A and B are shown apart, each in its own frame.
Chain A
Amino acid sequence: MTAALALAAMLAGDVTYTRDIAPLLNDRCAMCHHPGGSGPFSLLTYADVRRHAAQIVAVTARRYMPPWKADPSDGPFVGQHPLSADEIARIQRWVDGGAVEGDAHDLPPPARWTEGWQLGTPDVVLTLPEPYRLAASGTDVFRIFVLPVPIAAAKFVRALEFRPGNPAVVHHANIRIDPTPASKRLDEEQAGPGYEGLIAHSAQYPDGHFLGWTPGQVAPLLPKDLAWRLEPSSFIVAELHMQPSGRPETVAPSIGLYFSDVPATRTPAMLRLGRQSIDIPAGDAAYTITDSYVLPVDVEVEAVQPHAHYRARNVRGDATFPDGTKKELIAIAEWDFRWQHVYRFVTPIRLPKGTTLSMRYTYDNSADNPRNPDRPARRTRWGQRSSDEMGDLWIQVLTRDDRDLSTLERGFRPKVAAEDVIGYEVEIEKRPADAGLHDDVALLCLELGRAADAVKHFAASLALKPRSAAAHYNLATALTVAHRLDDAIAEYRRALVLDPDYANAHNNLGSALVGQGKYDEAIREYREVVRLQPSVVGGYVNLAAACAAAGDFTRAIEAIDAALKLNPPDALAGDLRRLRGAYLQK
């Protein structure tokens, strides 16, 4: 062997494409980098790979590709495809050694991927009536598409598969279910398919399940007992993050639904840690938020999803066991807004009651953060627009049984509602004339027992629409809860001036009057209720109680008889008959 050949053999023999590189790339890259895939070019053959060799070294060394942002020691997660440091070094050595092809006999089996629907043929496929046209240039586009669900009866969904339609430009999709027509209305207000703005508050994750899509990620079919309930006449809301490609593009996403033939028996809980009080000074390179929650029951963590916008740098979530030992759930050292993965644990993480879940996110709002969209940096507060910031860690857990689920939800709900109130207040500062925001936050305040705050927000809403009977009614209701009966009664009366046939206002006014011992006045209001709603049981029941309180048992019995004629549910009917008996005694 000559010296030159020996040298070549040494370099080539060290690392070859066929033996060392093809298996890696087939396993970690080919699922996106194939013809028609979301990768911009194929990496299936030696010729493909050789023409991108230095690029592959650069993007793997930076860990930009494969796009796996979590600390490789977390998980293991479903669909985890990171390269180890050794593997990255191997690619570097291969290119340094001349990107040698090697012996064809060493080639691994060809890369495999599934064309079309990854989960098989869906039971229902939803598409847009017309594709969206994405302009050639400009900043990233966030557009929300609203798809009616074409089912006649409620279904249990085992999987929702999203197909981007144009994988070259669709970067990720946030998906929610809106049981109300609110999203549809927002869609109709803007021309063309979809709308730009915020996801409606009524569009939510269904029953503790994540929905969404990032390239290379498909949520697996759920076990049948865990499927989620989808109601007819609801809407699937998909917010697509799209990047202009340099030429005009059409985007025609589709969604496939896979149903279960049996109802679900288990429901996960969706916990959310995070802060809506985020307020990052311009230039602050290490603004940190933390949050935590102590579990009141045993759980298994199924999946986690960190969410933040462009300025987040370092994102982590931990579980600290009652004995003080710590388990890292997720850590992302260099957060990238582009990769909003749901990280599903291969084996759920068991956490006993008393475990503390915690999150800690750090933001860099300085000019040194190249992802900072503002130059110069500006003060940045919480908000759902990508120009604002967010910091949430969603944690999906399963409880042992429904009793534990209800304990967990009762314990957790006030925490998340209180955080939402803070977010609403930030939104209201930006849009003080949006009565809907005041109404929504007032309802949350009522739920939290903060009647005085509810009064404040309903009053603000009323000031924006003083001719609305409903606004007076809402304020009156909050005043009632706040034990301000005189004020409440005055507001109910104002509602009734605007709308004399407002049955609920008559009813609640009646109840407020009962609270003040003004039974005769209350009876007049309840009589209006039964006049306006002669087929509703409740009006007669209230009327009966008020008549009895006023000592008029004959009228009370008449009202009960009228209620019984309406065939109320058995339990109520039984109660009414017992009451009737008691009134007869008197």
Chain B
Amino acid sequence: MARGFASIALAATLAASSQSVRVERLDGSLTNPFDWPSGTKAAAFVFVSTECPISNRYAPEIRRLVDAFAPKGVVFRLVYPNPADTADAIRHHLTGFDFGGVDPLRDPTQALVRFTGATVTPEAAVVMGGRVVYRGRIDDRYAALGVDRQTAATHDLEDALSAALAGRPAAHRTTQAVGCFIADFAR
């Protein structure tokens, strides 16, 4: 028992530092998700999964945000936290759903999930200067599971990115996203 507790504590410590987080590229190699080209102003991680209908429905909206913010210095990364989403499954997923050509990453150990605090797919985290400046829903289209609006009124991720680029804090640092539970993927 004692050893188990120690390993959990260790993981928490590691997760506190962005430098120690590693995720997988589709070729299986490990990479630091916070390595990005110089001149990058902010990074947006979007957690998705291949079989979650809610995260799939967001593909066009994610693409819209990529098209709007990539030219302004925001790096987007699509993160698959479900270990069952294999590299082949992800490649197949990206042939059907257009996320704007964003680099896919696998996070089978959920290291990046822990670092950002994401709980569901789809959920977004905006990182600037090694800190999470926004984590939560993409917009308010889903009020709860099974309760979604025809259109969103509040575009939280878009607003957070605009704030980050303007050097302002996000209106809400965290919001509650609605979708498929990442906790299930860890079982």
The chain A residues found within 8 Å of chain B, CB to CB, are 4, 40-41, 50-55, 58-59, 62, 64-65, 99, 136-137, 139-140, 168, 243-247, 336, 338, 370-371, 373, 375
Contact = CB atoms under 8 A, between A and B. Distances in A.
Question: Top 3 A-B pairs ranked by shortest CB distance?
Answer: A137-B60, A370-B143, A64-B146
A62 B184 contact: no
Nearest to B48: A246
Contact of B184 (A53, A137, A140, A373): A53
A107 B58 CA distance: 37
Given A53-B184, A55-B180, A99-B187, A244 B57 contact: yes
A54 B96 contact: no
B36 to A, nearest CB: 26
Nearest to A135: B60
A168 B96 contact: no
Contact of A247 (B56, B150, B184): B56
A52 B59 CA distance: 22
A53 B187 contact: yes
A40 B144 contact: no
A526 B135 CA distance: 84
Contact of B144 (A53, A139, A168, A370): A370
A245 B56 contact: yes
B153 A375 contact: yes
A246 B59 contact: yes
A245 B143 contact: no
Contact of B97 (A55, A65, A243, A247): A247
Nearest to B147: A370
A370 B149 contact: yes
A244 B148 CA distance: 13
B9 interface: no
A59 B120 CA distance: 14
A140 B143 CA distance: 16
Nearest to A4: B1
18 contacts: A41-B51, A50-B187, A51-B84, A54-B184, A55-B180, A62-B144, A136-B59, A136-B97, A136-B98, A243-B57, A244-B60, A246-B56, A246-B59, A247-B97, A247-B98, A338-B146, A370-B144, A373-B149
Nearest to B59: A246
B183 A54 contact: yes
Interface of B: 1, 51-53, 56-61, 82, 84, 96-98, 143-147, 149-151, 153, 180-181, 183-185, 187
Contacts of A50: 184, 187
Contact of A62 (B145, B151, B180): B145
Nearest to A249: B96
A139 B150 contact: yes
Contacts of B147: 370-371
Contact of A137 (B61, B84, B153): B61
Nearest to B83: A51
Nearest to B52: A40
Contacts of A137: 59-61
B146 A52 contact: no
Contacts of A99: 187
A40 B184 CA distance: 16
Contacts of B144: 62, 370
Given A41-B51, A137-B60, A245-B53, 9 more contacts: A51-B185, A52-B180, A53-B187, A58-B145, A62-B146, A64-B145, A247-B98, A370-B149, A371-B149
Contacts of A64: 145-146
A246 B60 contact: yes
Contacts of B51: 40-41
Contacts of B153: 375
Contact of B96 (A40, A52, A58, A247): A247
A33 to B, nearest CB: 11
A51 B185 CA distance: 6
Contacts of B98: 136, 247
A50 B82 CA distance: 13
B146 A40 contact: no
Nearest to A370: B143
A137 B100 CA distance: 14
A244 to B, nearest CB: 7
B46 to A, nearest CB: 13
B53 A168 contact: yes
A178 to B, nearest CB: 28
Contacts of B146: 59, 62, 64-65, 336, 338
B150 A373 contact: yes
A287 B52 CA distance: 36
Contacts of A373: 149-150
Contacts of A59: 145-146
A315 B91 CA distance: 46
Given A4-B1, A246-B97, A247-B59, A51 B149 contact: no
